[in-house]
Amino acid sequence: MSDIRITTLSENTATYGFLGEWGLSVLVEVDGRKVLFDTGLSFSAAHNAKRLGVELSGIDRIVLSHGHADHTGGLGHILELTGEVGVIAHPDIWAEKYARRGEAGSRRIGVPLSQAELEALGARFKLTGEPVQVTDSTTTTGEIPMVTDYETVEASLLVKEGDTFRPDPLADDQALVIDSDFGLVVILGCAHRGIINTLLHAQRLTGKEPIYAVLGGAHLIGASHERLDRTIADLRRLGVQKLGVSHCTGFHASARLAQEFGDAFFLNNAGTRLTLP
């Protein structure tokens, strides 16, 4: 297969000349196709794409990792540039998602625009919990089973049903998997259901074991020492050769991963362009 080109359009931090914004958006070019994975919180992905000379009107498909605003809020801005385009997501992106943050109470964090509003801008949704083939070598994970005994979904993430809040299982959390000649490349949105659960599912889904690269949000912000230790041990066991973290990985976890993985590690922030292998 040809090279894989990955460009991070939106992330919490940014290289010189680009906008940083809490969230994530990554453009993947593979198999002659352009796939946008997530759209950031607002206009940063569209702005940074212009700075990079990336023509968003050429996007073939958009994949949403889950229904939080920091991954879907930029979709309206992107659609203004793309026009009609297929959008792959889990049906649960439309759940009434909230976060409970101490004395601040519960705050809505779901998709800012309605499905009807986004469809009016050109979104053509394919909503499914199953894996979807996006290019010849690329698939979404669909729903990710919780198989490790140390990865859990953050208890402060909730779904509102009527007047009642319940824990959000984040069934809509998914990743993008590229089955390349040199190993699996896994692009994470937030990995709310666990980075290791996600990688194990990618292996089962493809029937391939070697994992070449993992990029994106690993949701280790606030992770316990035990969870971080066990995550690092499993990443080593899985033989990950490149680890580019973003967004919700958190400063402490990122620093620890940099220390543990050395040259295999990099910060994947807005403006980063990567060609694999």
pLDDT tens digits, 221-243 = 999 999 999 999 999 999 999 99
CATH number of the structural domain spanning residue 184:
3.60.15.10
Q: How many domains does the chain have?
A: 1
Tokens encoding 136: 């010849």
Residue 157 has pLDDT above 80, yes or no: yes
275 domain residue, yes or no: no
277 domain residue, yes or no: no
225 domain residue, yes or no: yes
With a threshold of 0.85, does the pTM exceed it?
Answer: yes
Pick the closest to residue 42 from 67, 16, 10, 15 (CA basis): 10
Give me the pLDDT at residue 101, please: 81
CA–CA separation, 267 vs 157, rounded Å?
26
Give me the pLDDT at residue 102, please: 75
C-alpha distance across the termini of the chain, in Å? 11
273 domain residue, yes or no: no
Task: Find the domain containing 209 and state its range.
Answer: 4-268
140 domain residue, yes or no: yes
276 domain residue, yes or no: no
Give me the pLDDT at residue 177, please: 98
User: How does 203-218 read in b/e, with b if 16+ C-beta sit within 10 Å?
Assistant: bebbeeeebbbbbbbb
CA–CA separation, 1 vs 249, rounded Å?
30
Give me the pLDDT at residue 105, please: 80
SS3 260: helix
Tokens encoding 260: 């543990």
Query: Averaged over 137-141, what is the pLDDT?
Result: 98
pLDDT tens digit string along 66-110?
999 999 999 999 999 999 999 999 999 999 999 998 777 889 999
274 domain residue, yes or no: no
